A and B are shown apart, each in its own frame.
Chain A
Amino acid sequence: MRLPDTVTGLAFALLGIAAVLVARGFPAPGGQAVGPALFPTIVGTIMAAAGLIVAGRALFDRNRRALRIEDWMRRPGTLVAIAIVPAGIATYALLAPLVGTIVVGAAVVFAMALAWRERVGAALLAGAVASVALYAFFVMALRVPLPAGPIELWFQ
C-alpha cells in the first residue's frame, strides 16, 4: 500500500517520540552510569528525527506523491485476497483454542484458496489435506501440543 512519505514519516516519528516519553517513566540507574531509559531514548530520538526528515522532505518536494488509488485497490477481488491473509491469521488465533487446529486450519485454507481464485472442490481438498497433514506433522513428529478441539481429541 503506497502512502505519502509525509504519512509514513510522521507515523514513525510519533512512534519514536512515544518511545522516548514512555522511557521517561523508567527508573533511574541506582549508582550506575547507564539506566534502562538510555537506549530507548537514543533510539526513539533518532527514529523521530529520521521520520521527521522523511516527512519534511516529502512536504517540500514539488512533485510529491499524494495518496493515490492504485490499480489493485479498485479490484474488490484483490482486496479480499489481501485481507484474507491477516483475517485468516486472526481467525486462527481467536478460534483455534476453542475449536481446534484441524477445523480452523481447514477453514482458513479453504477461504484463502477461494479468494485466490481456486475452484471450490480443489479448495476443499486443499484445506482438508493441508490441515490434517500439518497437524499430524507438528503433533506426531515435532511433539508440539497444537490447539486441539473435538476432532483432535477423537483422533487420540
Chain B
Amino acid sequence: MLRELYFSFVDFLRTFGALQLFFLRLLANSPAILVRRFGLVVQQVYNAGALSLVIIMICGFFVGGVLGLQGYANLAKFNAEDSVGTFAAFSLLKELGPVITALLFSGRAGTALASEIGLMKATEQLSAMEMMAVDPLRRILVPRFLGGVISMPLLTAIFSVIGLFGAHLVAVDLLGVDPGAFWQQMRSSLEIGDVWEGIIKSMVFGVVASLLAVWEGYNAIPTAEGVGRATTRTVVITAIAVLILDFMITAIAI
C-alpha cells in the first residue's frame, strides 16, 4: 500500500518533470515560429479563438445576467442595489471572467487541439513529418500552443465585457437600477490592479490550458481509445489546474 503510494508519487513527479521540459521546449521554439511562421499562428488563433467566440459570448451574457439578478436581489436587502454594477464588475473581472473562459476554452478549443494532435499521431502524420525532416514540435505543436496563449486573454476580455453588458441589461433596463449609479460606483471602487489581476489570470490560464491540451494530444496512445482518453483528460486536468492556480494567484494578489 505504502509502496504503491510511493511509486505513484514518483510517477507523478516524473510526468510533471517531463511536462516542464516539454513546456520549455515549446517556449524555446516560440520566438522563431512567431517571427518566421506567423501565418501558422494566425490560423491557430482563428481555430482556437475566433471559433470559440460564439460560446464565450453566449455564456458571458448569461453569467452577467445572473450576476445582475442575484446582485440586485441580495443587495436590495441592504438598500444597496446601486452597487450591483460594482458587484458584477468585481466578480467578472477578477474571477468569473478568467475562470469560466478558461473552462469553456478547454472544453471547446482544448479538446479540439488534443484530439487533432492525437489523431495526427495515430494516423502517422507526425511520423511522416519527422521523416520529411520537419519537426512536428515546431510545425504542429508550437503554433497551436501560441494560438491558445494569444486567444485566451482576448476571449476573457470579451467574456467580461459581454458579462457587464448582460448585468447592465438585467439590473438597469429590467430591474430599474439607476444607470448613473451603476457605472459611477463601479468606476470609483474598481482599481487598475483589479483589472490587472484578471488579465494576469487569463494569461496564466491560457498558457496552462494550451499546454495541457497540446501535451495530452502529443502523448496520447495512438488508438481511438487513447485519443478519446486524452481528450477527456485535457478537460479534467485543465479544470483542476485552473481552479488551483486561481486560488493561488488570488492568495498572492490579496
Does B bind A? no
